[in-house]
Amino acid sequence: MKTCLVVDDSRVIRKVARRILEELGFEIAEASDGMEAIAWCRTAMPEAILLDWNMPVMDGITFLRELRKEPDGHEPVVVFCTVENDMEHIVAALEAGADEYIMKPFDGDILEAKLTEAGLVT
């Protein structure tokens, strides 16, 4: 079973994402900021990461840049999932190594479509 790490400081969003992702067949791990997420990845690199932008301690874009420097850090498919919905944020995310980008609010269909686009759901 593929693992998806959900990184978001909102417990509600993590819960919603968990429910959708479990239905899509993922095993879920959770982190509430970028620092926690890095620790997770160093222990067990997930196949996918659903990543918020604005979080305390370490934000999503900083986490992503750090992740891509890790030995296996290029492997996970990273899907940003954030309220930031302007072109500058999207371009910055792609330049930092994001594979897909979801603008909140989102639903199960959008998340499934993005993970399909990223090759994680068939």
Partner 1 sequence: MRPEDVETVRSLVHARSGVVIDPGKTYQIETRLAPVARRAGFASLPDLVQAIRVQRDEKLMWAATEALTSNETCFFRDRVPFAQFREEMLPELVAGRGERPIRIWSAACATGQEPYSLAMIIDDERAKLHGARIELFGSDISERSLEKAQSGLYTQFEVQRGLPIRLLVRHFEKADEMWALSPRVRQMVRWRRINLLADLRGLGQFDVIFCRNVISGFDEPTRRRVLDQLARALPDDGRLVLGFDETVSGVTDALTPVAGRRGVYAPTPARIAA
Q: Which is nearer to partner 1, 41 or 93 (CB)?
A: 93
Instruction: Catalog residues that contact partner 1 under the rule CB under 8 A.
Output: 85-87, 90-91, 94, 98, 100-103, 106, 109-110, 113-114, 116-117
Nearer to partner 1, 35 or 121 (CB): 121
CB of 94 vs partner 1, minimal distance in Å: 7
Task: Check the CA dihedral 89-92-96-98 and report its sign.
Answer: positive
Minimal distance in Å, beta carbon 92 to partner 1?
A: 11
In the complex, what is the shortest distance from the CB of residue 26 to partner 1, in angstroms, rounded to a whole number? 20
Tracing tokens 């603008």 back to the chain, one arrives at 103
Type of residue at 109? D
Determine phi and psi for 120, rounding to 5 degrees.
-95, -15
Report in angstroms how near the CB of residue 17 gets to partner 1 at its nearest.
15
Closer by beta carbon to partner 1, 39 or else 91: 91
Q: Which residues 6+ apart lie within 8 Å of 50 measured at CB?
A: 4, 5, 6, 7, 8, 17, 21, 79, 81, 111
